[in-house]
Amino acid sequence: MEFQFQFDWQAAIDSIPFLIKGIPYTLLISFGGLLIGFALGIVFGLLSINKKWFLRWPATAYIEIFRGTPILVQVLFIFYGLPDLIGGPIDPLTAGIAAIALNSGAYISEVVRGGVQSIDKGQTEAGLSLGLSRTQTFWSVVWPQAFRRMIPPLGNQAIVSIKDTSLFSVIGVGELVRQGQIYIANTFTAFEVYFVVAILYLAITLSLSLILRFVERRGLASV
């Protein structure tokens, strides 16, 4: 018997409306998580370069723990483990957002640290010598320059986090991959459906890359 495989275009096209329903969840988890992750990143990134050890150590511990363990383990821990501790269930969406927030927050902390440390000490000295307080010097002199340098690595992290949300199909969030799995269970068109799923991820990440490139060019033009 001869084996013949043919890409079933019709099956691929038919799957699109169902798969697209996963995109809002993918975007909500990624960008909701990243937004909180950015806040965490600023706080822990700045704490990690504080002179006081009792501020620096907890921040470093947080960064190392969430950078050093797989995000899949983190989300499983939050979804299946934490309910034992808090005595009630956590819905999958919240668990997913929390996992992206905590995980990206650790990486973004490092981005923030690197960005801030890359600014020449002379900038701080100039601010202080003009009478600005340490806080004023940081927020009006150092931070705007550091933030510009942080845009490329932040974009990188956003793309990583968007793809990480695909792992959350294991806790049953109706994101892209989960939608694909459900669809395949009924049609057995794995090849076509995962192909479309991949294309949809690519569409999201490529759009983001384009936007970031535009922002970067505008942001750097003035320096």
Partner 1 sequence: MTQIVKMKGMNKYFGKLHVLKDIDLTVEKGEVVVIIGASGSGKSTLIRCVNGLEEFESGTLEVDGHPLAPKSGNPKSLAEIRKEVGMVFQQFNLFPHLTVKKNIMLAPQKVKSTSQTVANATAERLLNRVGIGNQADKYPSQLSGGQQQRVAIARALAMEPRLMLFDEPTSALDPEMIGEVLDVMRELAKEGMTMMVVTHEMGFAREVADRVIYIHEGAIVEQGKPDDVFDNPQNERTQAFLSRVLAH
Q: Which of 117, 129 has the CB closer to partner 1?
A: 129
Dihedral over Cα of 66, 211, 96, 174: its sign: negative
Q: Is 60 in the site for partner 1 (CB under 8 A)?
A: no
Q: Is 17 in the site for partner 1 (CB under 8 A)?
A: no
Q: Of 133, 188, 213, 214, which one interacts with partner 1 (CB under 8 A)? A: 133
How far, in whole angstroms, is CA 144 from its chain's centroid?
22
Report how many residues bind partner 1 under the rule CB under 8 A.
20
Q: Which of 4, 222 has the CB closer to partner 1?
A: 222
Q: Which of 141, 176 has the CB closer to partner 1?
A: 141
User: Which residues within the stretch 136-165 sit at the binding site for partner 1 (CB under 8 A)?
Assistant: 136, 140-141, 144-145, 148
Q: Of 36, 49, 55, 128, which one interacts with partner 1 (CB under 8 A)? A: 128
Q: Count CB atoms within 10 A of the CB of residue 61.
A: 12
Q: Of 50, 117, 129, 207, which one interacts with partner 1 (CB under 8 A)? A: 129
Cβ at position 131, least distance to partner 1 in Å: 4
Own/partner contacts of 61-69, CB < 8 Å, gap of 24 or more, are: 62/105, 62/106, 62/109, 63/106, 63/109, 63/110, 64/106, 65/106, 66/102, 66/103, 66/105, 66/106, 67/106, 67/107, 67/110
Cβ at position 48, least distance to partner 1 in Å: 24
Q: Is 118 in the site for partner 1 (CB under 8 A)?
A: no
Q: Of 17, 68, 87, 122, which one interacts with partner 1 (CB under 8 A)? A: 122
Q: Which residues would be at the binding site for partner 1 (CB under 8 A)?
A: 120, 122-123, 125-133, 136, 140-141, 144-145, 148, 222-223
